[in-house]
């Protein structure tokens, strides 16, 4: 059983561009969480999704950020018009019910 997959592992964008981060949960997992880790910080919750539903987006910035988890395909975290402050590691976790299993992360660098 493959683990949580995230791609790309590294993403470089210029200010104003869009970033799309993908997360494929473990087989059989229907819960997906996105977290962001800024340098020297712990992981901060962004959004919790189940298939086709956003359950909790209390950690998402109000503008430019969106997330989806469609019926088919990976979960997508989308950041529009990126700014330098968006540079961080973005981790996805999936869960069957309780424990969360994390992917390797996507490191976003905004130039």
Q: Determine which residue in the list 41, 61, 78, 111 makes contact with another protein, applying CB under 8 A.
A: 41
| Under rule CB under 8 A, residue 97 binds another protein | yes
Kindly state the smallest distance separating residue 71's Cβ from another protein, in Å. Answer: 21
| Under rule CB under 8 A, residue 2 binds another protein | no
| Under rule CB under 8 A, residue 11 binds another protein | no
| Under rule CB under 8 A, residue 69 binds another protein | no
Q: Which residues contact 52 (CB under 8 A, 6 or more apart)?
A: 69, 70, 71
At residue 13, the 3 state secondary structure works out as strand
Q: How many CB atoms lie within 10 A of CB 16?
A: 10
| Under rule CB under 8 A, residue 65 binds another protein | no
Q: Name the segment binding another protein (CB under 8 A); options: 12-20, 52-60, 66-74, 76-84.
A: 52-60
What is the C-alpha to C-alpha distance for residues 12 and 74, in angstroms, rounded to an integer?
A: 21
Q: How many CB atoms lie within 10 A of CB 1?
A: 6
């Amino acid at each position: 059983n493959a683990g949580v997959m995230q791609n790309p592992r590294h993403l470089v964008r210029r200010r104003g561009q869009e970033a799309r981060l993908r997360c494929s949960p473990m087989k059989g997992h229907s819960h997906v969480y996105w977290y962001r880790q800024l340098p020297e910080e712990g992981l901060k919750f962004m959004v919790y999704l189940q298939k086709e539903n956003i359950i909790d987006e209390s950690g998402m910035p109000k503008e430019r950020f969106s997330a989806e988890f469609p019926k088919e395909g990976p979960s997508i975290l989308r950041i529009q018009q990126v700014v330098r402050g968006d540079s961080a590691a973005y981790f996805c976790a999936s869960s069957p019910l309780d424990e969360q299993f994390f992917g390797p992360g996507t490191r976003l660098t905004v130039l």
